[in-house]
Amino acid sequence: MADHHLQPLLHDLVSTVLAPTTALSGTDGQIRAAGVQGLFHADARVLSRAGLEIDGREPEPIGHAVPAPGVSRFVGLARWLGDPGPDPTVRIDRVRVVTPGAMDEEITIASTAAEPVTCTVSITLSCDFAPIEVVKSGGAADPLPPAVSGGELTWQTGGIRVTVAGPGFEADGAGLRRVVTVAPRQRVTLRWGVSVEDPKAAVTAPPGPPEWSRPEIEADDARLVRLIRQSLDDLESLRLTETAAPGDTFLGAGVPWFLTLFGRDSIWAARMLLPLGTELAAGTLRVLARRQGVKVDPGSGEAPGKIMHELRRGEFTVEGNGLRLPAAYYGTIDATPLWISLLHDAWRWGMPQDEVGALLPVLEAALGWLDEYGDADGDGFLEYIDTSSRGLANQGWKDSGDAMRFHDGRQAEPPIALVEVQGYAYEAAVAGAALLEAYGRPGAERWRDYAGRMAERFRERFWVDAGYPALALDRDKRPVDALTSNIGHLLGTGILTPAEELRIAETLRDPAMSGAFGLRTMSTADAAFSPLSYHCGSVWTHDTAIVISGLARSRHGEVPAALAADLAEGVLSAAEAFGYRLPELHAGDDRALMGRPIAYPASCRPQAWSAAAAVALLQAAVGLYPDVPGGRAVVRPLPGAPLGALAVRGLRVAGAPVDVAVDGSGAVRVTGLPSGVSLAQQPGD
C-alpha cells in the first residue's frame, strides 16, 4: 500500500486558545513534535515543541482542566524525587495562559518531602513555522535553529518573529534550563513565555470585552447551565477582527483548522447569538460587506454581490487533493442568502436603525446575486460548480468531496442545487423584501414574487416518491434521493406548508435519522451511511441545533415538539460526555451502542457554531421572538417544558436586558422588554 499523509487526530488534545493564538497539547500539557500539536498563531505553527522535563524525565500526569478562556492547568508528579513510600511528595503544576500573540507558563514545584529536593528543570523547544494547511494534510516542516542571545531564543521567517525567554533560565539551542532547590514543605515557581510578532496576519484580536451578554440561568436540567457557561467561554476565545480593518468583531470558525473568517460559519454563529445582543451580528455583517464580491473571477469564485467563504494569510494549498484556494475565497453557495437573513434577524432583534440602513446597498447587491449569478443556468434554483478545478467541489455546508450521494451510494455530478439553499434563498428574498419596504426602497414586490415562484418550483422538483425532499438536484436536474439532515434546515424558512413541515418532522423522527446523540447527517438506510463519515452519517452539533430551532419556530402539532425535545436531549447528553465543550461533530452511532457518543477523531474543538448552538437551544426552550421594528414580541417556548423549569436573566432585545422564565408546566413570564415593544399573543395561542 502506498504511503500517504493522514490528517492528524484532535479529539484527545487540549486546546488553550485566545484567538488568533492556540496551543494544542496532550492531556499532560506536553507539546510534542507530532501531529497537530504546537503553538499556532494566525495559520502558522510558531512552536512545534514545548516539552517540560524534570531531571530529564517527563512528569507523570494525573489531571488537567480548562478553567477559563485561554487558560489550562496540568498537574503531574515527579515520583522519583522526594520521600520513599506510596504517597507522592513532589507535585508539578503547570498553568498555561494564552493571549493574542503570546503564551506564558507558570511551573510550580511543590514538595512535602522531609529533605530538600534539587532538580534540573528544562523546557525543550523547537519551531518549524509549518502552515496550518500543511499540518492539516499530515505534513511537517523541518525545525529551524534558533538564534540564542543571553537568556532568549529567537526564530524568524517571512515577517514572523518568535521570541522565548524565562527569568532565571539559561538558554541554548535546545531550549531553557534551570537548577532549582525546593525546601521541605515549600514550593518554587518558575515562569517562561513566548511572544509572536506577525504583522502580515489576516486576523487579529479585537479590543475590549465580548460583544454579547452573559445571562444568568437557573434550570432544572443542570446540563444546560454548564453547557451555556462553557460555550460562552469558548466563544469568547474565538473572537477575531481583521488586521487591515480592525473594529468589527466576528467569530473564527474553529480550532485549529478554521480560526479565521468563514462566511457561513461566522454568520450562523452570530445568528444563533442574537438573543444575547446584536453587536456581534453587526460586526460580522460589516466585515463580510467590506469584502462583498464586485467582479466575476472563476479562480476565486467571486461574483458581484456575493458574500465570501474564507479569508487566509495567503494561498491555502492542501497537498494530495489539488485544493488551492486564494487568500480571499468565495466558493460558497449559501453565505449570501444567510448574510441577508442575518441582517433581517438582527434588525428584528433591535440592531440600530442607522446601522441596518447603512448596509442596505450591500443587501440589494446580495439579492441581485441570488437571481443572476447564483442561478447560472436560469432554472430558478441556486446551484454551484467549481469551474477552477482548484476549489471546493461541494460548496454548501456539507463541503467534503463525497457528501452528495444518491440513496444507492452513487455520487451526484455538479452543478448541484442543494435542498437547504433553496430554503435559504426563499427566506432571504422574503427578509430582503421586508427590509426594502421598511426603509422605503424599491424592489419589495419583486423579491416576494421571487420567493413565491421559488416555493412553487421547489414543490414540483424536489419532493421524491418516498415523501421527503431530495438532498439536491444534480447536473441533469435529477433528485439526489438520499435522506439527509439538510431537509431539516427548511423548517421555519417559510418555503414549506404546515403539512410539509409536519411530514419532514415525521421523517426526521425516524430512528434512522434521530437515533444518535443528535440528528444524523444521513439516514442509516442509505448506502453511503457511515457513522464516522464527515458528512454522510456523523452528527453535527450546529446542524442539530438549526433543526431544533426550525422545529421550535414551525411547531405544527405534537410531532415537531417531540422531535425537538428528543434532539435537545441528545445534544445535552453529548455535551455532558464531551465535558460541555461540544465538538464540531461526533460519530453517528446509535445511542444504545456505548451509552455515550463516540468522538470524530479530527473534529475541531472549540468551534464557533457548535458553541453557539447552546444559545440556540436556550432560545428554542424559552421561545422569545422579538420584532422591535414592529413593536411586538412573541413568546412561545417548547410545549410541555421538555427541559424542565428554566429562568434566564440578561437576554438582550434592542440593548435592553430581558428576563424570561418558563415553569415546569410551560407557562412563561417575560419582563424588561424595551419601551415601544409589547408582548403579543402568538396567533392560535
The span from the CA of 526 to the CA of 513, in Å, is: 10
How many CB atoms neighbour CB 579 within 10 A?
12
CA–CA separation, 73 and 29 (whole Å): 8
Q: What is the mean pLDDT of residues 448-454?
A: 98
pLDDT of residue 661: 97
Q: How much helix, strand and coil, in percent to the nearest 5, is found in the chain?
A: 30, 30, 45
Grid cell for residue 268: 450562523
Beta strands 632-635; 624-627: pairing state: antiparallel
Half-sphere exposure for 445 (CA within 13 Å, toward CB): 1
Q: Are strands 678-680 and 632-635 parallel, antiparallel or unpaired?
A: parallel
> Distance between CA atoms of 332 and 324, rounded to whole angstroms?
15
Per residue in 612-646, is it b (16+ CB within 10 Å) or e — as a string?
bbbbbbbbbbbbbbbbbbeebbebbbbbebbbebb
**pLDDT at residue 685, rounded to an integer:** 41
**pTM of the entire predicted model:** 0.96
Cell digits of residue 104: 506564558
What does the pLDDT look like over 633-660, one tens digit per residue? 999 999 889 999 999 999 999 999 999 9
Helix 263-272 vs helix 335-349: crossing angle, to nearest 10: 20
Residue 404 has pLDDT above 80, yes or no: yes
Cα torsion angle, 363, 369, 370, 374, sign: negative
Q: Which amino acid is at 458?
A: F
- The domain 204-635 is placed in CATH, from the list 3.40.80.10, 1.10.3720.10, 1.50.10.10, 1.10.10.60, at 1.50.10.10
* Spatial CA neighbour of 455 closest among 494, 415, 509: 494
Beta bridge partners of 395: none
Give the strands of the sheet with 678-680, arranged side by side: 624-627, 632-635, 678-680
Predicted local distance difference test score (pLDDT) of residue 640: 87
Helix (H, G, I), strand (E, B) or coil at 229: helix
Q: What pLDDT score was predicted for residue 557?
A: 75
Domains 14-200 and 204-635 in one fold: no
Residue ranges of the domains in the chain? Answer: 14-200, 204-635
Q: Which helix (H) or strand (E) holds 608?
A: helix 608-622
Vertex 381 angle, CA 379 and 383, to 5°? 105
Backbone angles phi, psi at 461, to 5 degrees: -105, -30
Mode of pairing for the β-strands spanning 44-47 and 14-18: unpaired
Domain 14-200 carries which CATH code?
2.70.98.40
Residue-wise pLDDT for 257-314, tens only, equals 999 999 999 999 999 999 999 999 999 999 999 999 999 999 999 999 999 999 999 9
Whether residue 1 is predicted with pLDDT greater than 50 in this model: the reply is no
Q: What is the pLDDT of residue 681?
A: 61
